Structure 1
């Protein structure tokens, strides 16, 4: 299975998730949608769970790559606000991947996820150490920093709410959670 076939299966999985959730992603639906053989899917991904693990890892890295440039935006407050805006922009621009990330079992290798997130975690750790941000345990970065953005993204994906109207409010909430105390 070449790179084109592999990508065809991943694209088919995202389309199927968008149309019918995780349950719609069956091997037979994947082969019908992607045009690859049943054996090719198993050969490359091993199983449906293997496909989900690859897709989760790739989608998570895609998301982090989209928000990471915000970390170079001005001071800590500007960067945190930009991270929120870029994340919500990524959700709007990549609803299939976002839906998958929210729906998928956390089946990706944790080391893959940690490696993708490492530049973001390092930026936050450095700013916390410098007193530019409130100290938050690194394990709590996602729920504390991105919790409000995640909830708005979920509501956008489920109900089509206007995320553009929420970006500033969410950025205010996130900055409030990590602004230095004092």
Structure 2
């Protein structure tokens, strides 16, 4: 699935075509040069547009980064919801979270690479409140899935702020290594291993008992 597909879902229609083109150009610049080095002028040249168009649609470099970052979060969230809808047990839920994360990174390496470097800029910049609100909404949706008999027992003794790291931490570490070229096997090849590791990190055994 191409990056343009993600942007078309988040910025649909012909009237948003220029927005999508600017975002694609910004993404290429951010990944090639880094967030700090990339300038609006560089993005302008890459997109063959005007500085005025960029500022009109996004306001600033921080606005561009936030639009790309939130598009990534939205797309990840869609895939996670699809996977969780098919999960019934707690262990299947853990696998759904890990599988959706790994599959998304493997399918969207450009956006994933940007997401890792862009998180700090968004979290510390003018869009930090929006990021907090989006994270709170996403976390609440996850909690709603877990908060049923047979699932809630698994997480009731785990601090909520620790829960995502226990499930995603090892998958994130491998995905970062893959994106940087330090390892070469696609993360999807190891997703079953990563899901099992996440399950065991919650204090469970192989049979799914907590």
Bin for the TM-score computed over the shorter chain: 0.7 to 0.9
Structure 2 unpaired stretches of 5+: 1-14
CA contact (8 A) 2:97 2:167 kept: no
**Structure 2 residue aligned with 1:7:** 20
Shift of 1:116: 4.0
Q: Check if 1:137 corresponds to 2:159.
A: yes
Deviations 1:74-102 (A, max 9, x none): 31112211221221111010001111111
**Structure 1 residue aligned with 2:142:** 120
For residues 150 and 94 of structure 1, the distance between their equivalents in structure 2, rounded to whole angstroms, comes to: 14
Alignment of 1:18-167 (within 5 A): 18-23=31-36, 25-72=38-85, 73-104=87-118, 105-107=120-122, 108=127, 109=130, 110-126=132-148, 130-133=152-155, 135-159=157-181, 160-162=183-185, 163-167=187-191
CA contact (8 A) 2:84 2:97 kept: yes
**Structure 1 residue aligned with 2:197:** 173
CA contact (8 A) 1:68 1:83 kept: no
For residues 39 and 167 of structure 1, the distance between their equivalents in structure 2, rounded to whole angstroms, comes to: 44
Worse overlay, 14-23 or 121-130 = 121-130
Shift of 1:128: 8.0
RMSD: 2.4
Structure 1 unpaired stretches of 5+: none
Normalising by structure 1, we get a TM-score of: 0.85
Normalising by structure 2, we get a TM-score of: 0.75
Deviations 1:49-92 (A, max 9, x none): 12112221121121121122221223111221122122111101
CA contact (8 A) 1:71 1:82 kept: yes
Q: Would the alpha carbon gap of residues 181 and 76 (structure 1) be closer, same or farther in structure 2, given more than 3 Å must change?
A: closer
Q: Would the alpha carbon gap of residues 121 and 45 (structure 1) be closer, same or farther in structure 2, given more than 3 Å must change?
A: farther
Count, aligned residues: 181
